[in-house]
Amino acid sequence: MKKTLILAYDFPPYVSVGGLRPYSWYKYFHEFDIHPIVVTRQWGNKYGNHLDYIAPGEADKTIIEETEFGTIIRTPYKPNLSNRLLLKYGENRFKLIRKSITAYYEIMQFLFFIGPKSDLYFEAKKYLKNNKVDVIIATGRPFILFKYAAKLSIKFKIPWIADYRDPWSQSSSYRKKYLHRFFSSISEKKIVRSASHITTASEYFKYRLSKLFVNKNITVIGNGYDPDSLIGVNSISQNDKILSIAMLGSLYNWHPIESFLFVLANFVVLEDACVNLNFYGTNNVEKVAQIIKNEYPILQPMVTFYPRMDNQSVLKELASNNVLLLFNYYAFVGTKIFDYLVVNRKILFCYTEEPKAKVLRNKYYGFNDNFAKEIEIQKEIINDTNSGIVIKNEEDLLKVLIDLNREFKETNMIKCETRNVDKYSRKNMTHELTTVLFDLINAI
């Protein structure tokens, strides 16, 4: 059996869509004759929100777990001063100091082995001194893991794979952070050129990466759903009392949430309807709640915000709803759509032609080149799986809501006939990755 060392900062029990990707490799690699060794940090879910990302680990020493799937090495985690200030005093105090400290570590960690993430490097190095491994995979972000993988590759003469869940220097979040973008661009080109292979989560990322690394082999290993998640979810009945709409995960500035709320409020008034709008694990609770309070108070008693929860629990919650809201990610796929496919509930995909959404896209999206404008992968998946309704604009959304409400009144449910989902399982994606791994191993 071959061995693969995986550097993965995000990893369960931390509740993160980014952690599900390496977790699926850990879970399914053994079925393809590969033993995974995951090096991650200790995680807890004390807060149930973004603060879990900077909360201290549970122990001062490294924890090693041996399971039927492989090995997990969990390093201690101690927040830096910036994060300790945030945890103690909240987000509104010491902002400048915290930003300065964060910027210092973001840059200096690429020059020296410092900061709370460096323990992953030292523990991986310690493991490799006494154990043979065939391939190293580093999945980012954080992209400092790429530096660690490159150093370990050179020291122990092991090929490594750079796995991009997201862009690095090309990230839209760096558009106005010139210093970050400058240093990231230099680091990315220098570090990743030593990788034996690049994997990424979408065709668009592959396109962008091919511009940076002209001679590198790049393979798309998509995200997907965990087939084991179907256990315990299929038996859950959807709500039959009040038409319930759910949205999972983060809201971004280019998501037309205000447009959706505007149409929903109009629908409630026109139809004298009552709906439940449930947000699960959103990152902008205060912002959305304020918009509803100020602009659409009629919706206030109909909206509920739920904290982050583990993937299996949130899938069960989604399954109890009738309709699932999905905003257009344009050139990206994300992971949300795959969770929606698992629960087999009608997807409302907003939007393809709404002018307000286009304004937000042009202002905030960050990826508006010709290639990005030509593809809408989520739309293709929905059409392929017959899993939802592709909505053009606000007028179209209002008509759809009226039709759904009529269906719900007549049948106490919303029918969904999803099909062709098997090819989107994470197990299949892991199988595709094993092909890349064995090609590298056999080429040595």
- List, in order of start, the domains of the chain with CATH numbers: 2-78+116-223+426-443 (3.40.50.2000), 227-422 (3.40.50.2000)
Distance between CA atoms of residues 11 and 21, nearest Å: 9
- The pLDDT of residue 138 is above 60: yes
Contact 25, 3 (CB under 8 A): no
Tokens of 392: 């053009």
Contact (Cβ atoms closer than 8 angstroms) between residue 234 and residue 251: no
At 107, the pLDDT band (50, 70, 90 cuts) reads confident
pLDDT at 176 over 70: no
Q: What is the pLDDT of residue 265?
A: 98
Query: Rounded to whole angstroms, how far apart are CA atoms 19 and 184?
Result: 22
328: CB partners within 8 A, 6+ apart: 349, 350, 351, 352, 357, 376, 378, 379
How large a percentage of the chain has pLDDT more than 70? 97
Q: Where are the beta strands (DSSP E) in 76-144?
A: 135-140
Distance, in Å, from the CA atom of 298 to the CA atom of 437, rounded to the nearest integer, reads 55
| Residue 229 to residue 341: CA distance in whole angstroms | 11
- pLDDT band of residue 298 (cuts 50, 70, 90) is very high
Q: Over 90: is that where the pLDDT of 334 sits?
A: no
Residue 329 above 80 pLDDT? yes
Say what the pLDDT of residue 33 is: 97
Fill in the amino acid letter for 44: G
Mean pLDDT, residues 174-179 taken together? 54
Please tell me the distance from the alpha carbon of residue 192 to that of residue 190, in angstroms, as a whole number: 6
Predicted confidence (pLDDT) at residue 203 exceeds the cutoff of 60: yes
Task: Write the pLDDT tens digit of every residue in 32-63.
Answer: 999 999 999 999 878 877 888 999 988 999 99
Amino acid (1-letter code) at residue 75? T
At 209-259, the pLDDT tens digits run 998 999 899 999 999 988 888 887 888 999 999 999 999 999 999 999 999
> Rounded to 5 degrees, what angle do the CA atoms 395, 396, 402 make?
95
Q: Give me 272's structure tokens.
A: 């004298």
Query: What pLDDT, in 10s, does the model give residues 346-366?
Result: 999 999 999 999 999 999 987
What local confidence, expressed as pLDDT, does residue 153 receive? Answer: 98
The per-residue pLDDT of the chain, averaged, comes to 92
pTM for the model stands at 0.85
pLDDT of 414 > 70? The answer is yes
Q: Band of the pLDDT at 272, cuts 50, 70, 90?
A: very high
- Whether 179 shows a pLDDT value over 60: the answer reads no
Residue 155: burial class (beta carbons within 10 Å; 0-12, 13-18, 19+): exposed
Eight-state DSSP code of residue 425: B
